[in-house]
A and B are shown apart, each in its own frame.
Chain A
Amino acid sequence: MASVSTPARQAAAGSRRPAATDRPRSAGRTGWLFATPFLVFFTLFLVVPLGIGLWMSFTDSSLTGHGDSTFVGLDNYTEAFGDSQVWETLGNTVWFTVLSTVPLVIISLVMALLVYTGMPGQWLWRLSFFASHLLPVAVVFQIWNMLYQPDRGMLNAVLKAVGIDGIGWLTDEKYAMWSIALVTLWWTVGFNFLLYLAALQAIPDHLYEAAALDGAGAWRRLWSITLPQLRRTTALIAVLQVMASLKVFDQIYLLTKGGPNGSTRPILEYIYDTGFTNYRLGYASAVSYVFFGVIIILSLAQLKIFSRRED
């Protein structure tokens, strides 16, 4: 594998120019030929459902109503903007995004820095930190549901052993979202960890050697070389993580069903509940599109912040 990757990598450095092509005429047909299979899937299973969803958001379509729905204009959207549940669940989603993104960036960086030191046992460290990323959500639920049990769970037993009263990890409004963020950290940190590890390995040794010759100590090298060199990766990981965290649904749905008292309910669960439990597909679609708008605005803002900082 290494021998294959080398020429391609070298190549990547050599020819980074905008797509300029040689034979425009026949290339046009070939291009379509190559792109068509993907475009068929893309259209059928992304563009069309997006369109159907958008259409539904302007109707009173419902799960029970066998498709016969009437056009209601912007009614669903007016309702959504005035719906306190929408804002509350959107707030929960953003709160979860903050609670999960910060540790998911920092801890994955710490893990990668520690593993990058080349300590013996590389195989074990990488396995420990990445393995949980491979678990299906049902398994994550099973494990943490046991650990979090208030009266019989292991975490509270450990707390009791050191003399602290057990807490309602998933049942106390004060802690539930933190517990969910903790599960998410445990479950998904491995991917960011691998991205950081790859980035660390790409920092050329001569930077460190030069710094060492100039008498820079280990901490100095960390602050002046390693962290600045990782800035792009950090920006990328933060953007990807925010997008992923905003889409949180599975683990919350399984662990708390949005409770206690709606304190962990993310907006996607509200959409799901409105659509599938209350059968109001039209309204659920409208809320989906409001949420989609929020995601786009947040992503663009983030891209802008990070790309400015890089210049």
Chain B
Amino acid sequence: MTTQTLSPRTPGKPRSTMPREVVRRRRYGGHAWHPTLGTGLLPRVLTLLALALMAVVWLVPFGWGVDTSFKSEVDASASGADWIPKAGFTLDAYRTIFGQGNLPVWALNSIVIAVCVTALTVAVSAMAAYAFSRTLFRGRRVLFALIVASIMVPPQILIVPLFRQMLAMNLVDTYAAVILPQVVAPAMVFILKKFFDGIPRELEEAARIDGAGSFRVFWSVVMPLSRPILAAVAIFVFINTWNNFLWPFISTSDPQLMTLPVGLSTVKDSTGLQNAQQSAASILGSLPLLIIFMLFQRQIVKSVATTGLGGQ
């Protein structure tokens, strides 16, 4: 099933970089014909309505969280669905959170950890994927089968043994304990190998004839060709690491080492039911990824397509 995921449907036909809508308008002389809709007005109106309805349903919970974060604690705990609080909107919740002072530390930890994990994972997985795609070393078939099989291991069952290992290695409550185990991403090796398999060897041959060594070929020929897939892998890994809860929660107890999701969950524990404050903390904890997504939306959507996961 996954063996052909990278091949486009129309081999040899270069994909147009022009937006599809533009292409169509031109082709149909001003009539915006759409493959799934046709030219009718009614289907368009209905589609738009359905989209708007679903978007509202999906945004309401999020909006409610934002709304609550700007309420006073009394209004935030009041019953019902009042979007406009009786006592008016206030920034109190945000003031309290910034007053507690741990938020910048958690944010910094999250950034350091997510960046380190992402950089290490991409580097290590890309090199391994290249080895599996291009070289014949002894045992590669068995190893690759093992790696693919390990995708099925639920990470939760590794937690206890991993924690013991960290104790034995004397790493508990260090960045290394949080970062190193997260670098193992067999699924990413699999995705990258599939992509490398599709890069024509002729390019590498040419570089070799010019006297480039293996590492040089990898770095100057293969890496630049693989930028979209590397971006996709980096995005997946970054999102997962940023939001990872269980491992950072278990491997650190030092508040100075907590990541945002872990830190935020301790706010919840220590203060009881404080909806406005928790909502404000949640908003702040979600903002970095949301901003990144808004800025790079097109690239992210395109990256998912390049992994080949969506291709067929």
* Residues of chain A having any CB pair with chain B under 8 Å: 1-16, 19, 21-22, 24, 27-35, 37-39, 41-42, 44-46, 48-50, 52-53, 56, 67, 110-111, 113-121, 123-139, 141-144, 146-147, 149, 151-154, 157-158, 161, 186, 194-199, 201-205, 207-209, 212, 217-218, 221-222, 226, 232-233, 235-236, 239, 243, 246-247, 249-250, 254, 268, 271-272, 275-276, 281, 284-285, 288-289, 291-292, 295-296, 299, 303, 306-307, 310
Contact = CB atoms under 8 A, between A and B. Distances in A.
Given A196-B310, A197-B301, A46 B243 contact: no
Given A136-B285, A232-B312, A233-B312, A142 B268 contact: yes
Contacts of B130: 34
B143 A236 contact: no
B311 A268 contact: no
Contacts of B68: 146
A268 B157 CA distance: 8
B15 interface: yes
Interface string B216-242: 001000001111110100000001001
Contacts of A22: 201, 205
Contact of A202 (B8, B36, B226, B278): B8
A162 to B, nearest CB: 12
Contact of A136 (B4, B14, B44, B264): B264
B136 A117 contact: no
A136 B305 contact: no
6 contacts: A6-B17, A7-B225, A41-B184, A232-B1, A236-B1, A296-B152
Contact of B160 (A45, A116, A202, A281): A281
A128 B127 contact: no
A198 B310 contact: yes
B189 A275 contact: no
A8 B226 contact: yes
B38 interface: yes
Nearest to B125: A38
Nearest to B78: A152
A139 B281 CA distance: 8
Contacts of B137: 27-32, 35
Given A6-B15, A37-B128, A239-B1, 12 more contacts: A5-B228, A8-B225, A12-B198, A31-B131, A31-B140, A35-B128, A38-B124, A48-B161, A138-B268, A199-B312, A207-B35, A285-B160
Interface of B: 1-2, 4-12, 14-15, 17, 20-21, 24, 33-38, 40, 43-44, 47-48, 50-51, 54-55, 58-59, 61-62, 64-65, 68, 77-81, 123-125, 127-128, 130-138, 140, 143, 147, 150, 152-158, 160-162, 164-165, 180-181, 183-184, 186, 189, 195, 197-201, 205, 214, 218, 224-229, 231, 239, 242-243, 245-246, 260-261, 264-265, 268, 275, 278-279, 281-282, 285-286, 289-290, 293-294, 297, 299, 301-302, 304-306, 308-312
Contacts of A113: 36
Most chain A CB neighbours (cut-off 10 Å) among B8, B43, B61: B61
A19 B134 contact: yes
A8 B222 CA distance: 10
A13 B54 contact: no
